[in-house]
Amino acid sequence: MITSHRPALSFVLTFAAVLLWAGLGSAVMAAEPAPTKFEMPFAATTKDEAQAWQKQVRAKLLEAVQSQEPRSTLEEVPLAVEVGPPEDKGTYTLSTVSFQANNKTAKRIAGLLAVPKKPGPLPGMICLHGHGGSAKHAFDAKGIYHGFADRFARGGYVVFAPSFGHRKYAAMVLWDLMRAVEVLQSRPEVDSTKMGVTGLSMGGEWAMLLAACDERMKAGVISGWMCSNEGILSVGNCPCWKMPGLLELADSAEINLLIAPRPVLFETAERDIYIPVAHSKQAYARLLAGYKVFGAEAAIQQDVFPGQHEWHGKLAYPMIDKILGGRAVDAE
């Protein structure tokens, strides 16, 4: 299904998206106690133990998703990618793209693909919207995403921003996230050894899950999401993050250790009403200690900034450029 990009509508929708997020955040239940025991907390003290932990926790995570949403192979349900006509955006072209969802009875998944007008092979980025958002918000400079997808595209990255609907559990989108990576890497312009992911809010959660489970992601920026269960529960949030099997497995923050030793950066705003900054900083200290066990403390960063629930980019653009080789930092 091909739809056109309508700037006038996108302005209204950006504000609607922010309001919807706020609605979801505040309409949910009050703070609740955090689980105190996990099935597989991170307790490794050597690299071997840490790698064994990763293998077991990743397998359990995939099993938990599988029990909610059985995975189809690409042979069973082909991607059947459809690309609309390219729209000129100056230094890049923007096309609507759709592909068949993992669940063949589900609607096709739409998205936006930006291809820089320069010779390839080029690095690739998956850019993910949050609650109530869609791909066009990721390109919109006026909203809470600050146009991160546009910025990466202008910085020489092939960008794919899929639009995902809300599911009972956010993690149920995992197979479709991996299918989005297939769409990106199938592009002839993309260097498939240089792909990364970023997302804000629920998009940060998806970015975490995708980077945790798909090693084709060489770097990740997780914005407005990384926190301990205790922190997330202390403010009340949409319950879609609490997938059975995953919730009991390990603290939400520790799922990020499945990304090690690959580079990861967390953005945390000081006035984020969904992700309490004090809890996020405490969780980061544990993740830094975890990355040290992998011998990879230089590959993890946190950008704590004076903002609200929004994308920042100050450390994220240079970090992604350094790892993947684009020039988003210069694309202001």
C-alpha angle 65-197-260 in degrees, rounded to nearest 5 = 75
Q: Which is nearer to Zn ion, 41 or 165 (CB)?
A: 165
The answer to whether the CB of 191 falls within 8 A of the CB of 323 is no
Give me the least distance between CB of 42 and Zn ion, in Å please: 26
Give me the least distance between CB of 28 and Zn ion, in Å please: 9
Give me the least distance between CB of 221 and Zn ion, in Å please: 21
Q: Which is nearer to Zn ion, 115 or 240 (CB)?
A: 240
Q: Which is nearer to Zn ion, 219 or 232 (CB)?
A: 232
Give me the least distance between CB of 168 and Zn ion, in Å please: 9
Q: Which is nearer to Zn ion, 27 or 80 (CB)?
A: 27
Q: Which is nearer to Zn ion, 64 or 190 (CB)?
A: 64
Instruction: Provide the residue type at 193 as one letter.
Output: T
SS3 at position 119? coil
Interface positions with Zn ion (CB under 5 A): 238, 240
Residue where the block lists tokens 């926190």: 227
Give me the least distance between CB of 22 and Zn ion, in Å please: 13
Handedness of CA 60, 164, 204, 48 (dihedral sign): positive
Containing 324, the helix (H) or strand (E) segment is helix 316-324
Q: Which is nearer to Zn ion, 132 or 263 (CB)?
A: 132
Give me the least distance between CB of 196 and Zn ion, in Å please: 24
Distance CA 36, CA 111 (A): 39
Distance CA 197, CA 264 (A): 10
Task: Write the burial class of residue 98 (CB in 10 Å: 0-12 exposed, 13-18 middle, 19+ buried).
Answer: buried
Task: Output b/e per residue, 155-183; b: 16+ Cβ within 10 A.
Answer: bbbbbbbbbbeeeebbbbbbbbbbbbbeb
Q: Which is nearer to Zn ion, 181 or 240 (CB)?
A: 240
Give me the least distance between CB of 166 and Zn ion, in Å please: 5
The answer to whether the CB of 173 falls within 8 A of the CB of 195 is no
